[in-house]
Structures are given as structure tokens and as C-alpha cells.
Amino acid sequence: MKYLLVHTSLLMCLFLISCASRNVGAQDSKPEFKVTAKNADDAIAIFEENSHTVIDIHSDFGIGSASFELVSGSMPDTLLLRLHLKGLEDVRIISAETTVAASISSSGVLRTQNQRKISGSGDQIIWSFDPLWLRIDIVSDSQKIPLEDGYFEIILPSEFLRKAGNSFEIAWIDFYR
């Protein structure tokens, strides 16, 4: 009995030591961002949905940008961007190293989107097999632009998030004016 009590006590001590030595961030790796919006009227919310981090942006003016700085947790592997806009003439995700731009024709045909990587050496077309490709869907009863109800959902590529480090920016234009 004494032998069992000593082993149990020893195992409990080892367990408690391992719990105490863990980094707080390792116990809860949910990302928390500091958000700075260009326009005070833009409403930006960040929340978890179905184990994904979602950035939800409502922009009544239709032109804006916001910067996101990771202040705790870790950068998510998958990040969903929901842009509540009437059109998507231009969206850019920007990090210190990479800028990816995409647009959808205002004719509303999702198949006519084009994407490109922008760098100091010029624009480079991005194809759907590229790790920086933005998956863009229209979430609406009507798939026609201008959207009366719904939003554009964009999956930010894990390659972009991995290289972004702790900060990135999103800029958008619904229609060129």
C-alpha cells in the first residue's frame, strides 16, 4: 500500500509540474486581434464559428481598409473574411511581404474573377492552384451583383497567414467611383 501511495504521489507531482510549466498561450491559442479601421463607420467583428475565425465587415460606404494586429494567441490556420458589400471591384490582403488582390466583375459572374500578386517587380497573375489563391464565394439568395442581401466570403490562404507574421491589412472597394 505504501508503495502505491508513493507512486501515485510522485505521478501527481509530475502532472502538476507539467501543467504549471506550460505557457499560458499554449493553453488557449485563440487569436485576439487589435483592429484599426480607416473609416469609423465600418463595423468590424471577429468571432469563432464552426472552429474557424471569422472577420465580418459591414461597410456602408463601400470603400475602406482595416489593419489587424495579433495581440495574443496564434494566427489561425483558416481565416474567413465576410465582406457585406454590394460589389467587389477590388479586395486586397496586405502583409509586409505579400499583397494579393482580387476582383469580381460587376456583371456578377463569379467565374470572371481575377487575382494577382502585387510586388515591387510588378503584378503577377495567380491561378487557382497557387497557394495564395483567394477562394471567394457569394453568400446570398441571389448570386447577382449588386448584392441586395448577403456577403462575399473569402478564405484567406494559410500560406498568406503563415507569412504575414502578426499583422496584415485588408482593403476593399465595392464599385469604382
Grouped pLDDT means (10 residues each) for the chain, 177 residues? 50 49 52 96 96 96 97 94 95 95 75 80 91 94 87 95 96 85
Q: Give residue 71's pLDDT.
A: 97
Q: What is the pLDDT of residue 122?
A: 85
Whether 107 is covered by a domain: the verdict is yes
In a domain, 12, yes or no: no
pLDDT of residue 11: 44
Residue 65 lies in a domain: yes
User: Is 1 within the bounds of a domain?
Assistant: no
End-to-end CA distance of the chain, in Å?
A: 82
The pLDDT value given to residue 107 = 67
- Distance from C-alpha of 95 to C-alpha of 175, rounded to nearest angstrom: 23
Does the residue 23 lie in any domain?
Answer: no
State residue 23's pLDDT score: 46
Quick one: which H or E segment has residue 2? Answer: helix 2-20
What is the C-alpha separation between 60 and 86, in angstroms, rounded? 9
What is the per-residue pLDDT for 31?
A: 94
Count of domains observed in the chain: 1
77: closest CA among 131, 137, 157? 157
Parent domain of 66: 29-173
**Rounded Cα distance, 123 and 167, in Å:** 22
Is the pTM for the entire model greater than 0.85?
no
Give me the pLDDT at residue 129, please.
Answer: 93
Please give the single-letter amino acid code of residue 23.
N
Q: Flag whether 117 is in a domain.
A: yes
* C-alpha Rg value of the chain to the nearest Å: 22
- The DSSP call for residue 1 is -
